[in-house]
């Protein structure tokens, strides 16, 4: 009698282009398993909006698996305990899953699972599902390795899957896990939503992608909006890459530029995830250790609270934060601004602000989030230090004021000329610290001070051995076509 195989779904909630599903079907009868891990959902970077998206995606996955004759088995508990229970009851010989670049908690959990598998004689097969390379030896060859994966044909759903009759559990309600942040305005999960977003982007919305992505109002439509689907795996990255490459040509210069930008950002997604894969500890420590003492680890509670709620008194910053809290999404340039203002103007350590953003991003991807949080905080030792002017960003990216006014209705009476700097409005006294807070800092003076301190640290360690190590291990090998303007940010608007 063939011993069954556990197919462990994690953040790969689909059946299309799912190498692990196909591999499991070849090994024997399959137990398709998803584990709700209470400890995972208790982590400081987890939130109710993430769980709500996962629940919707599990409903979709269950239906797609049923079409293959395979029930989805839900279990609640610690992964090792759940897996051991199934092994003991059913004589499991193999565990199959995709490789995951998650947070430090999931990394520790996977190490525990690996130890369990070795101890019980269960063979764990981990398969890649993106361009991230496990145990990468050198960045020099990484681009070619990624490209080979993206060019390989997508994997169709396995046809002949033998199922094992296994009892499952009910999917817990969010409240049972202590989660109370459903975010009704967020994007919805599931394979159908992923395909609709991909199709609409490649046929209509994507035309203005390159020129509209930087503003929050236009970016909401022009960006692909695939990011949460890539995070939780309702769509594979390879599917997105190949669909973009197969999009019709000859539609004009805007489309051509848009598709090039789209492909570049999909590649940058893997580039940043590779950083965390190679050095998981950067979720908790500065990439360059010289920056550990730059800011106080214990944050100023007033500044942190004001920033977290969108009440800094800097209108465009507050509008962006309130929009993000309400919708779970914000275009990348404005995400960068939020992080930079927290790090430079408010002088908050990234380890106190990073989890705040992780919880409100429906598309929180640890492999992008933590390298980017550090990049926008100036603690990598190799990236350009960029300090946004929040007033200028408001004028540039929301020139009509429509976005700011939508999210800050208390500024209704402020004339357009003073919308991004209401403290200069002659009637500011009847507004500030009444309907709307006065700025928590003088943004000009705060930026000047931050620039001096960060650049002093940068100069002191420029060219040292640790900086050289970081560049060798993490820097892109692709040369930029031209130097970026000082205020330009890398955009990952997905």
Give the residue numbers of the binding site for FAD.
209, 262
Asked if residues 90 and 164 have their Cβ atoms less than 8 Å apart, the reply is yes
10 Å CB burial of residue 402 (0-12, 13-18, 19+) is exposed
Q: How far is CA 54 from the centre of its chain?
A: 14
Among residues 336, 338, 342, 347, which one has the least CA distance to residue 375?
336
Supply the angle between the helices 315-327 and 390-397 in degrees, to the nearest 10: 70
- Strand, coil or helix: 97: strand
The candidate with the shortest Cα–Cα distance to 107, out of 320, 275, 277, 292, is 277
The three-class DSSP label of residue 479 is coil
CA distances from 348 to 39, 44, 124, 130, 225 (A): 27, 17, 42, 33, 29
Structure tokens at 186: 């967020």
Both structure tokens of 258: 């848009």
Round to the nearest angstrom and report the end-to-end CA distance of the chain: 47
Look up residue 341 and give its DSSP letter: I
Q: How far is CA 371 from the centre of its chain?
A: 10
Looking only at the bridges linking them, the beta strands covering 5-9 and 30-36 are parallel
What residues are designated binding site? 209, 262
């Amino acid at each position: 009698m063939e011993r069954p195989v556990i197919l462990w779904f994690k953040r790969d909630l689909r059946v299309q282009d799912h190498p692990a599903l196909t591999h499991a079907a070849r090994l024997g009868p399959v137990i398709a398993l998803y584990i709700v891990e209470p400890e995972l959902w208790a982590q400081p970077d987890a939130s109710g909006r993430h769980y709500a998206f996962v629940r919707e995606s599990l409903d979709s996955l269950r239906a797609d698996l049923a079409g293959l004759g395979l029930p989805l088995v839900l279990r609640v508990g610690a992964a090792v305990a759940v897996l051991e229970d199934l092994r003991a009851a059913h004589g499991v010989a193999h565990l199959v899953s995709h490789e995951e670049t998650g947070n430090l908690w999931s990394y520790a959990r996977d190490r525990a699972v690996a130890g369990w598998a070795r101890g019980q004689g269960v063979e764990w097969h981990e398969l890649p599902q993106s361009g991230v390379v496990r145990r990468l030896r050198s960045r020099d060859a990484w681009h070619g390795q990624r490209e080979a994966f993206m060019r390989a044909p997508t994997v169709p759903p396995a046809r002949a899957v033998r199922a094992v009759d296994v009892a499952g559990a009910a999917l817990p309600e969010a409240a049972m896990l202590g989660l109370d942040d459903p975010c009704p305005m967020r994007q919805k999960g599931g394979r159908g939503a992923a395909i609709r977003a991909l199709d609409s982007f490649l046929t209509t919305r994507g035309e203005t992608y390159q020129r509209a992505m930087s503003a929050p109002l236009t970016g909401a439509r022009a960006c692909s909006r695939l990011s949460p689907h890539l995070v939780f795996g309702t769509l594979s990255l390879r599917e997105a890459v190949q669909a973009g490459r197969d999009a019709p040509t000859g539609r004009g210069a805007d489309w051509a530029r848009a598709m090039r930008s789209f492909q570049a950002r999909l590649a940058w997604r893997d580039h940043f995830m590779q950083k965390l894969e190679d050095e998981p500890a950067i979720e908790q420590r500065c990439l360059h250790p010289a920056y550990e003492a730059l800011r106080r680890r214990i944050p100023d509670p007033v500044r942190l609270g004001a920033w977290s709620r969108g009440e800094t008194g800097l209108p465009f910053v507050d509008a962006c934060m309130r929009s993000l809290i309400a919708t779970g999404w914000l275009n990348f340039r404005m995400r960068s601004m939020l992080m930079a203002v927290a790090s430079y103007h408010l002088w908050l350590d990234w380890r106190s602000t990073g989890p705040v953003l992780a919880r409100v991003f429906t598309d929180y991807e640890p492999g992008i989030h933590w390298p980017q949080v550090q990049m926008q905080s100036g603690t990598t030792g190799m990236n350009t230090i960029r300090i946004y002017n929040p007033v200028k960003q408001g004028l540039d990216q929301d020139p009509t004021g429509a976005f700011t006014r939508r999210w800050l209705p208390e500024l209704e009476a402020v004339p357009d000329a003073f919308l991004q700097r209401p403290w200069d409005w002659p009637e500011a006294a009847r507004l500030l610290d009444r309907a709307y807070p006065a700025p928590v800092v003088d943004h000009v003076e705060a930026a000047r001070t931050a620039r001096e301190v960060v650049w002093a640290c940068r100069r002191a360690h420029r060219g040292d051995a640790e900086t050289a190590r970081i560049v060798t291990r993490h820097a892109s090998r692709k040369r930029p076509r031209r130097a970026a303007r000082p205020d330009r940010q890398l955009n990952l608007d997905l």
